[in-house]
Amino acid sequence: MKLKKKGEDETEIDVPVEGVFIYVAGSKPITDYVGGKLELNKDGGVPVDDEMSTSIDGVFAIGDIRNTPYKQVVVAASDGCISAMAIDKYLKGRKSIRVDWIHQ
């Protein structure tokens, strides 16, 4: 794998690497569009419960907006799965999340 890096004179330099881990530091959730309707934590994220439900009934938050310290796609995908099952429960008026199988 090669990584291209710009030199001081803006030329591209090939840098040999064996792997890359992309880390985003200092990112802050973009929540200005909620207009003060949702509760926010001290870091500007939307607090959620175990099912990704917010302070407003029927509103769910997933991924970076919930201000998790783990900024990874796999975390957002997991959040999406959890919230999808919780939304199904909410819309159908169930008392618990329904799973397709039970481990025995």
pLDDT digits (tens, 9 = 90+) for 36-48: 788 998 888 889 9
CA 46, CA 30: separation in Å to the nearest integer?
A: 10
Distance of alpha carbon 35 from the chain centroid: 20
Q: Phi and psi (nearest 5°) for 38?
A: -100, 145
State residue 18's pLDDT score.
63
CA atoms within 13 A on the CB side of 10: 0
Kindly report the CATH number that applies to the domain delimited by 27-92: 3.50.50.60
State residue 79's pLDDT score.
92
CA 98, CA 84: separation in Å to the nearest integer?
A: 11
CA 77, CA 79: separation in Å to the nearest integer?
A: 5
Q: How many residues does the chain have?
A: 104
Select the more confidently predicted residue: 92 or 10. Answer: 92
